Amino acid sequence: MRSEIGNDIFKSVEILNRGGIVAIPTETVYGLAANGLDATAVAKIFEAKNRPFFDPLILHIAHSDALNQIVSNVPQKAKILMDHFWPGPLTFVLPKSDLVPDLVTSGHPTVAVRMPNHPIALELLSKLTYPLAAPSANPFGYVSPTNAQHVQDQLGNKIDYILDGGSCCVGIESTIISFENNPTILRLGGITQEAIEGIIGPVNVSLNEHSNPKAPGQLDQHYSPYCKLKDLKHDQLEPHSNVLFYSPQTEEKYWGENPRIQCNVMYLTNNNASIEAAANLFSVLRDFDQKGLTEVYIEFAENEGLGLAINDRLKRAMAKRD
Ligand code: AMP
Ligand code: MG
């Protein structure tokens, strides 16, 4: 059995109001949403995704007014960033209010919150009286979904409805910044560190510990297709190797003066553009499995701007499965 894909916002509202789960479009990736103030509804997300309880969820809102319900304090610098980047792919970790269930925050005294920049997500949220808890709508550890069909392929029989909003334009998850102490980026994503620092000045970056301080490194492997991914080094390719080059331009550089070998070549971006590369990333990884590839060499992006977030996802996708 497969869940229905459709455009019915009222049906989505009705399902969410009775404690069900609905996959929703956002500009980053598709989310698996439930009433973020109802622990029983939120538990269904963990069940459908097979997500461990130590991994907290992000709450989604449509208006800044909704913040008062879920956080106890918004520091000035956080407010400035919200004014600048919301709606958009920037998530804030702030002290939580008593209304937010521990299941949402994995028992942390802080909660993650953002305002997605997607007209359908915003319309849906504006018809609700509560925020939506929504992690990516994929089985835990697998590639995140960037269209409705991806969701159906993976979780189709486990959810109540899939609200279709087309393909996600950012394609990688939100950047997460914590204001628990000094502003600290916990996850690289759709908004770059430079863009944030351009508004509020220098911030700290702490990329791994946040996933689960009690079990460090457990989430090193994430966003992974079943296909084995290998870091592309020079002179590594053989005839018929599968290779994902960043772009045709970087492929040129790879070969240099050397004769080309006939490989199965794929690109993350045809135009050497990091926005396009980010938007394509998860679809391209997913295609490896769909094509039945067992091994692909991967060329990383330049370590700057969005390339940092892309490389973070690629490294986690590459990390060995047990
Ligand atoms: P997603 O991967 O989009 O489901 O976003 C959820 C991620 O947000 C989690 O895996 C954490 O890395 C991060 N997160 C959510 N809430 C918190 C929190 N209270 N403190 C630190 N990180 C958090
Ligand atoms: Mg995820």
Confidence of residue 215 (pLDDT cuts 50, 70, 90): very low
What does the pLDDT average to over 240-252? Answer: 97
Angle at 84 between CA 120 and CA 174, to 5 degrees: 55
Question: Measured between alpha carbons, how far is 41 from 19 in angstroms, rounded to an integer?
Answer: 5
CA of 112 to the centre of ligand 1 (A): 6
Pick the CATH number of 228-318 from 3.40.50.11030, 3.40.50.11810, 3.40.1010.20, 3.40.50.300: 3.40.50.11030
CA torsion sign, 231 to 232 to 237 to 240?
Answer: positive
pLDDT at 123: 98
pLDDT digits (tens, 9 = 90+) for 4-43: 999 999 999 999 999 999 999 999 999 999 999 999 999 9
Contact 171, 146 (CB under 8 A): yes
Mutational pocket test of ligand 1: of 55, 104, 313, 316, the residue with most ligand atoms within 8 Å of the beta carbon: 55
Phi, psi of 111 (to 5 degrees): -130, 145
Q: What is the dihedral of CA 74, 78, 79, 80, to 10 degrees?
A: 160
CA of 186 to the centre of ligand 1 (A): 9
Architecture of domain 5-171: Alpha-Beta Complex (3.90)
pLDDT digits (tens, 9 = 90+) for 66-125: 999 999 999 999 999 999 999 999 999 999 999 999 999 998 999 999 999 999 999 999
Which ligand number lies closest to the CA of residue 71? 1
CA of 244 to the centre of ligand 2 (A): 22
Domain ranges of the chain: 5-171, 228-318
CA torsion sign, 135 to 139 to 140 to 141?
Answer: negative
